[in-house]
Every structure is written in C-alpha cells, then in structure tokens.
Structure 1
Amino acid sequence: MSAGGLQPFGPDLWLADGAQVAVAGFRYPTRMAVIRLAGGGLWVWSPVAFTDGLRQEIDALGEVRWLVAPNSLHHLFLGEWRAAYPQAKLYGAPGLAQRAGVSLDAELDDRPPPAWAGDLDQVLVHGNQITTEAVFFHRPSGAVLFTDLIQQFPPGWFRGWRALVARLDLMTQAEPAVPRKFRLAFKDRRAARAALARILDWPAEKVVMAHGAPVEHGGRAFIARAFGWLTR
C-alpha cells in the first residue's frame, strides 16, 4: 500500500498509509481508515499526516463529518485535520483530552452514537494502564479496526538494540500479536475479557491495524488467537 494513497479494503472502506512517526526512539508506520456511511458522510479513523493529495482523494468520496481518535496515543495529526475540516465532529477515546490537550466534541464510549450506529459497532477495551482503546466493527466490510492492541512489524524494520526490544515486546512475531507491554498493562483482566467477548461476537472477516499488515480472511479466528493469552 503506497503512502498517502487510498486503497479499497471492502465496501465503502478505504485504507491509507501515512508517514512514519518516532515514538521513544522507535519508528512506527501509520495507517488510517476512511468509511463512507450509508448516509453519505465520511468517517475518518486514526488520521495520518495530512496531505493535499490525500485530501483530493477523500473529498472525491464525500464530505468528512467525523474524525475519530481511537485511543489516547493517536492524536499527532488531529490539528491538521480539524483545520482542514472544521465542520467535522471530533470523537476521541477516554483520556485523550487530558493527555494531549485536545478539545473533543464527544468522548467515545461502549456504544456507537446514532450518527454511525447503522454502519459500525464499537467497544472500549477497559482495564489497560497505557490507554483505553476503542475497537470498531464495520458491518458492510466485515472489518474490525484495532489501533495499538495488535501490532506487527516486518523483519528488519528495527536494527540493533531496538530489534531486540521489539522482539521481546512481541512486535515482530510471525503473526500480529498483542505487544507484551500492553499485556502487562492489563490490570483489570475481567474488564478486558468482557470487551473481548463482545468483539468475538462480531462476524469479523477482516482486521485492520494501525501498525501491521491488514488481515483479509478469518478475522474472528485471528483475533481469538491474538488474545488467547487473555482467555487462558
């Protein structure tokens, strides 16, 4: 997937890879999703760095009405998108406003608002000390959208000591996995299991991650494997 270009990933769902970002000395790829809802408005998830080319592609699809920051770690480019689409409503995960100083129109919770309830379901994965992540299910495409709770970096992405840290953190497994730091940060596993149960009730076929290659088939079974450590 080329950086900046929208690529279809199912009915009314497009993905775009953005520029890399540096976090604590580690380079992370970035990915966003754009969903055209049944009413015609566009729902933008985890926006990447804003570019004129990306704007042209998105504007050709419809009107951006919602910007969604799915956890408190994905806020770097919200200012650019709010400036470009001042009419759009910004929804963010719990903790985002306090951590990033972002002014939200509404905070995400365990139920989708009426604006997108007909197309998407959502659940907050509670109990993690790093961040509370909102996970979404897009019914028309059968795709579940994870942000940081499942990750995978390709071989050779990290070098030297960073490669060792990434391997120990389970970020370079053969299959995308929940990083070890997130596993250890789940201090309320009962809450996490309750959220996972709801996610596994979705008839998921595909899985999108902000940091990892999308899964195109067998999404529900893939999610169950990724979180097997939580249910044992």
Structure 2
Amino acid sequence: MAAILEKWEVGPHGPLVDIDEGLMTVEGEIVMPLGRFPRRMTVIALEGGGTAVWSAIALHEPEMERIESLGTPRFLIVPNQAHRLDSRIWKRRYPGMQVLAPPSGRNKVAEAVPVDATVDIIGDPALVLAKIAGAKLDEFALQVHRPSGTTLILNDVIGHVRHPHGIGAWLLARLMGFGVNGPRVPRIVRRMMIDDPHALAAQLRDWAALPDLKRIIVSHGEPIEDDPAAALRKVADSLD
C-alpha cells in the first residue's frame, strides 16, 4: 500500500473534465518504474451546496480553484482502504470535510485521516452510496443521478486501463488484468477482494438494468461511455 502523503505533492495529471451537470473528473498518474499508472478522482456537486470528492488527488492550483468554484468540498469519499494516499492532505486543506470509508477499510483509512462515517451521511437524494456486493474487503460504489442520466462511479472492482503509459505500467495492467482490452474485474481484485463472485455478478446486472445508465467512471482507466450496460453484463458473465 502506498505511503500517505504528508504535504501537498502534485503528481502528473490531466485537465478536469466536465462530464455532466455538476460532475467533473480528472485522471492522474502514479509514477512507477518504467511507466505511469492511471488513477482518477471525481467531484460531485451536491444539492445542498458544496461538493463530494471521490478518491482524492492533489491537483495544481488552477484545477483546485475550479473544484472550489463548483462548491466547497464537504465530503471526502475514500472508496476502499487502498485509496487513502491523498486523504490526509485534503483534510488538512479542507478541515471541515467529513470523511467516509467502507466498514472493513475504516481502520486503515483512519491511519491517514479520521473517519466520520462508514455509511452514507451525504444526504443528497440524487446520490446512492453503497458497498459493492460479494466483497471480503469492502468497497464503495456511487450512483449520481442527473436529468441527462445516471453516472455509476466504481473504484477498483472494474479496471479499464486501455492505454497504460510506459512498459512498466503496460506490464502491470496486463499481468494484473486491469482491462487493457476492455472493462473487466482485475485479477488481483478478484483474488484479494472478492469472496462471492456470483453476488457481485448479480449486482453488476442490477446496475446494467438502470434505465438511464449513461456512463461508468472507474478509478483506474477511462470512463465507459459506449453502451455501459452491455459492458456491465459482459463483466458479470465473466464472473459466473
């Protein structure tokens, strides 16, 4: 598990992209030997004002100002215990943020930042925060409902790293199955995090049945916007 950042260290990242009303995402990169592995943060505007930040990444100041213009960061969602790298520095920058972590990850996340809740305390009717099914290591998933459709935000349970940068990242994505050829449950995630693949498959099919599903955002890789329901069904079939 990566070290916890103690100061505002900005790694390589792209621009913040507006993907829907009050919904922005940005791809950062984890520098590794002979490559850079993608990671992603998503920022959601809340009905009552402010924003929720999913899987926080430190950005350069112009992008941070864009986030603040969307709304003061009020909630920091650490979707599983491995995604705590930037949590401490975000809490220091925005001390009023409340931190959410899934139940089995609470103690590990608390090593980086105090955890306020392990359930949904956001209170926005347009958001549905829940644990993924079939996991022995808890992980959150988030539905964001907008007039144009629903965005499903997932974390490690599906990878979609189509274009890893560098031979090291390419080998990692290939060997661990992070979706170089299309969305899939990474091999390492299935081995270490999932104990009931059939329950997970059923949940993926339930999400696929959402009538207005518009896209899927994953924490490692590109958003899935080309028939996301079919992508979920295909991943579910691979688990049965």
TM-score, normalised by the number of residues in structure 1: 0.83
| Structure 1 residue aligned with 2:95 | 86
Query: Percent of aligned pairs with the same residue?
Result: 27
- Per the alignment, residue 216 of structure 2 pairs with 207
Matched, 1:196 2:204: yes
* 1:122 equivalent in structure 2: 129
Alignment partner, residue 6 of structure 1: 16
Q: Aligned equivalents of 1:188 and 1:172: distance in 2?
A: 21
Identify the residue that residue 38 of structure 2 maps to in structure 1. 29
Shift of 1:193: 4.0
Query: Could you say what secondary structure the match of 2:103 adopts?
Result: coil
Query: What SS is found at the alignment partner of 1:47?
Result: coil
What is the letter of the counterpart of residue 135 of structure 1? A
Q: CA RMSD in A?
A: 2.6
Matched, 1:138 2:144: yes
1:222 aligned counterpart, secondary structure: helix
Contact 1:4 1:51 in 2 (8 A): no
Cα deviations across residues 187-228 of structure 1 (Å, max 9, x unaligned)?
223543454354334332101111111122422221111222
Residue of structure 2 equivalent to 1:106: 117
The CA deviation at 1:132 is: 1.6
The structural deviation recorded for 1:154 is 3.4
CA gap 1:85/1:156 in 2 versus in 1, 3 angstroms: closer
Q: Which residue of 1 aligns with 2:70?
A: 61
Instruction: Note if contact 1:146-1:210 (Cα within 8 Å) is conserved in structure 2.
Output: yes
Contact 1:19-1:48 within 8 A present in 2 as well: no
Using the TM superposition, give the Cα deviation of residue 133 of structure 1 relative to its aligned residue in structure 2, in angstroms. 1.3
Q: TM-score with structure 2 length normalisation?
A: 0.81
Which of residues 93, 105, 116 is equivalent to 1:96?
A: 105
Q: Which ranges in structure 1 are unaligned for 5 or more consecutive residues?
A: none
Q: Distance in 2 between matches of 1:38 and 1:126?
A: 27
- CA-to-partner distance for each residue in 1:100-152, whole Å, 9 max, x for gaps? 413201113xxx44612x111133124334x3211111110411101111113
Equivalent of 1:180 in 159, 180, 187:
187
| 1:20 correspondence with 2:27 | no
Q: Unpaired segments of 5 or more residues in structure 2?
A: 1-11
Cα separation, 2, equivalents of 1:26 and 1:104: 33
Alignment partner of 1:17: what SS? strand
CA deviations over 1:65-93 (Å, ceiling 9, x no partner): 11111111111001111011111111112
Q: Aligned pair in 2 of structure 1 residues 218, 156: CA closer, same or farther (>3 Å)? A: closer
Per the alignment, residue 223 of structure 1 pairs with 232
| Matched ranges for 1:35-46 at <5 A | 35-46=44-55
